[in-house]
Amino acid sequence: MSLVPSPALGHVRARVLVVEDEVFIRLDVSEALRAAGFEVIEAKSADDAASFIETGEPVDVVFTDIQLPGLVDGLALVNKMRAARPSLIVVITSGDQTKLAEANRIGTFVPKPYQTKAVVGLIADLAETTQR
């Protein structure tokens, strides 16, 4: 886990908080986002992500799994973040689609397994649309 922002390759278009407890998935997505020019903050749980947010550091996009270890899940995390910042871009993922309706109400849902390149493209499109 790295709660310290990593330098992006090329021009930084947005700051993305990636919240995923499965280390290889988190690393894969994070590295692909960095290669696409995003600044990435990684967290292995919603609790770790919430601790980072409490520091006051800005985040433009949250990409989170729903099922995470800790006191809160990904949906509770983004609900709290959205209450403070309604324009926050939220992309939610899960292999369990029982909370699909709630996830779609909060943000954009991407079912697992997903293509990393497609997730990076989606985040790029969403970030570009909100910057206009």
Q: Which of the four pLDDT bands, split at 50, 70 and 90, describes residue 131?
A: low
pLDDT at 60: 96
- pLDDT > 70: what percent of the chain? 89
Q: Is 51 a domain residue?
A: yes
Name beta bridge partners: 18: 42, 63
Is residue 8 in a domain? no
The region that residue 56 occupies, defined by phi over 0 for left and psi between -120 and 50 for alpha, beta otherwise, is left
For the domain that residue 20 is a member of, what is the CATH number? 3.40.50.2300
Domain range for 24 is 15-131
In the chain, the amino acid numbered 51 is: S
Give the global pTM: 0.89
Query: How much is the mean pLDDT over the chain?
Result: 90
* Model confidence at 3: pLDDT above 90: no
Q: What is the per-residue pLDDT across 52-98, written as a single tens digit (0 to 9) for each?
A: 999 999 999 999 999 999 899 999 999 999 988 899 999 999 999 89
Q: What is the CA radius of gyration of the chain?
A: 13
Instruction: Give a yes or no: residue 58 inside a domain.
Output: yes
Q: Is residue 10 part of a domain?
A: no
- Split into its structural domains, the chain has a count of 1
Task: Determine contact, residues 48/71, Cβ cutoff 8 Å.
Answer: no
